[in-house]
Chain A
Amino acid sequence: MSTLTPTSGPRAPWQKYKHASHFRTAAEEFDSCKLGFWLFLTTEVLLFGGIFCAYFIFRTLYSDAWREGSQLLDWRFGGLNTIVLLISSYTMAVSIYAIQKNQQRRAQINLVVTLICGALFLYIKFMYEYLPKWSVGKRPGAMFDYPFAESAHMPLWWSVYYCGTSIHALHVIIGMALIARVLYRSIKGHYGPSHYTFVEITGLYWHLVDLIWIFLFPLLYLIH
């Protein structure tokens, strides 16, 4: 199952990969891609930073609404989602390792497990968090208002909750799409020890999704 580099036989696509001509080496291409993607990740952090800042402001101003809101959330589902995402981060990192070691099957299995964890995250979120609220009408109204809110400032809590968790869920979906693409390309043999840039990038994105949730979970579920 574990072969570092095949010494004979037809070359796999990843062995035939040629880096883009404006880079001196493949290593340079890899580092450049990584740098560019880290720059993008900083913008993602700032995107969620805006939501965290809104949380900070409105929690400071209207702590009663926040106390009321945090009672609407169940930390057990949040905790379960955290564990699911942490495991998915681990399997993503292992799949990168496997590709670095040319263990294609292992890599693909780990990618599939990552996908399953992502789907499980979304399932728990929708089934146990969103749907119970939506089924009693507690969802954003026509103009993103919250007509069912009883106290004056609860709409703010609802806004922060829905914005934070749904934008994060959107990132999970995007990450899953990227992982699915990696899985497909990996099955086609495009990734190996000398070429796995896209896998690395996808891994970074998925770890960021996990990172965001590491902050979102205590803020929404644990802090009262």
Chain B
Amino acid sequence: MAHAPAPTAAAFDEMDPHGSHHHGQHASHVIVGPFILRTILAFLLFFTVLTVGLAQFEVWIEHALGIVLPWWVNVLVAMSIATVKSIMVMAYFMQLKYDNPINSVLMLFCFFALGLFLLFTGLDLFSRGSIVSYKSGPIVAGGTSRGIVGANNQPVVIAAKVRMKEQLAEDNIKEWIIAATTLQHAAHAAVDLNRVGQPAVDALVASAAILKHTNQMLDLHVVKLHPPTGPSQAAVAKDIAQIAEQLRVAGNPAAADMVRFAAQELATLDMVSAKAAYSVDSAFETLAAVAHGDSHEDVAIVSNGNRSRASTGLSGALGEPDAAHGQGEHGDDDAQSNKKRNVGTGKKAPVIAEQK
């Protein structure tokens, strides 16, 4: 396009890059005439109409002929036309064509950087669904636990449970848990015996002391990490007797009596038959309930006369089926009267029955 109003830029002189040796200030200032500008404007308007027309044409094709073009056709066409328009604006309106090449290089590099930005984003985005099999192995909810010793390629949550249950089946831990659950039972009984007045308060104090002790014993971490050794039944009975002593010294003889009674209950426990009736699964449930803090609420709940929450965790595991469904205040009265009988005679061992 040769048009008079647009003199070409002066040739680049290395010895004088900024044209300071020339007196004519216009040497580096190219004047782009209105004719070129109008031509470029005409092209731009044409391309605008073209891009809108093509977009509408595609919509029309879809409606009238029922042909659905792939999504990238629309994008490619529109972006190509936009690129052409932008090149024209940059070259002629922004005069990059006539300018120092460094400005063009800058702009090209900027678009290159933007392209990199989009490229890496696209690489990530379009490969998200792909699973590289040689790296990942089977995909299992909870993880495959490959690399964890003893997990046997089971998902981690299952492997951990299995290991826990194996530990719970060990002899000394069995005894430990039976002892602890016996005491929880005694704590419930202590609260149930006397509901009104000072004896009720004493019962609460007694059962709180026992519960705290037993919950510590039933702490999952304690049982798992520090399995008890030796005759746990006797040891725990001794502990509980000490609590009774503390209560009496604190000036609470009634509560002390109840706790000592619980200690006796434990001491006379028939461990053999208790172990025979022991269920690993319900022991696991008990530990989980304690870990969730269910048992800590037993005392407060029982004192309010609402047994429904108390029926989760331990009392359910103790083989009192009514307790498991206890809704409302007297839901497990029968179960409690069973406890009463057990406490009264001190002979029958509380049973951790099978829970299905």
Contact = CB atoms under 8 A, between A and B. Distances in A.
Interface of A: 24-28, 30-31, 34-35, 38-39, 41-42, 45-46, 49, 52-53, 56-57, 60-61, 63, 75, 79, 82-83, 86-87, 89-90, 92-94, 97, 100-101, 193-194, 203-204, 207-208, 210-211, 214-215, 217-219, 222-224
Given A24-B18, A60-B125, A223 B114 contact: no
Interface in B108-137: 109-111, 113-114, 117-118, 121-122, 125-126
Contacts of A204: 94
Nearest to B23: A25
A46 B55 contact: no
Return the 6 tightest CB-CB contacts between A and B, nearest first.
A42-B110, A218-B78, A222-B55, A28-B18, A49-B114, A90-B41
B33 A194 contact: no
A207 B37 contact: no
Contacts of B161: none
Contacts of B19: 25, 27
Given A46-B113, A75-B55, A222-B55, A56 B121 contact: yes
Interface string B27-64: 11101111001101100110010011001100100000
Contacts of A28: 18, 20
12 contacts: A35-B100, A45-B111, A49-B114, A79-B52, A82-B48, A86-B44, A90-B40, A97-B31, A218-B55, A218-B81, A223-B78, A224-B59
Contacts of B29: 27, 30, 100
Given A97-B31, A207-B94, A61 B125 contact: yes
Contact of B110 (A45, A60, A89, A194): A45
A52 B115 CA distance: 11
Given A90-B93, A218-B51, A45 B118 contact: no
A34 B99 contact: yes
B20 to A, nearest CB: 4
B162 to A, nearest CB: 39
Interface in B51-102: 51-52, 55-56, 59, 71, 74-75, 78-79, 81-82, 85-86, 89-90, 92-94, 99-100, 102
A23 B25 CA distance: 14
Given A60-B126, A83-B45, A210-B89, 11 more contacts: A24-B20, A25-B18, A30-B28, A31-B28, A39-B106, A42-B110, A45-B110, A75-B56, A86-B41, A89-B93, A218-B51
Nearest to B33: A97
Given A75-B52, A97-B34, A56 B122 contact: yes
A45 B121 CA distance: 17
Contacts of A63: 71
Contacts, number: 144
Contacts of B55: 75, 218, 222-224
Contact of B89 (A41, A45, A56, A214): A214
Contacts of B44: 86, 89
A194 B25 contact: yes
Contacts of B125: 57, 60-61
A176 B266 CA distance: 90
B45 A86 contact: yes
B18 A27 contact: yes
Nearest to B81: A218
Contacts of A49: 114, 117-118
Given A46-B110, A46-B114, A57-B121, A27 B93 contact: no
Contacts of A26: 25
B277 interface: no
Interface string B231-254: 000000000000000000000000
Contacts of B109: 42
B141 to A, nearest CB: 23
Given A90-B38, A93-B32, A53 B118 contact: yes
A26 B27 CA distance: 11
B180 to A, nearest CB: 49
A25 B118 contact: no
A27 B110 contact: no
A104 B226 CA distance: 94
Nearest to A210: B89
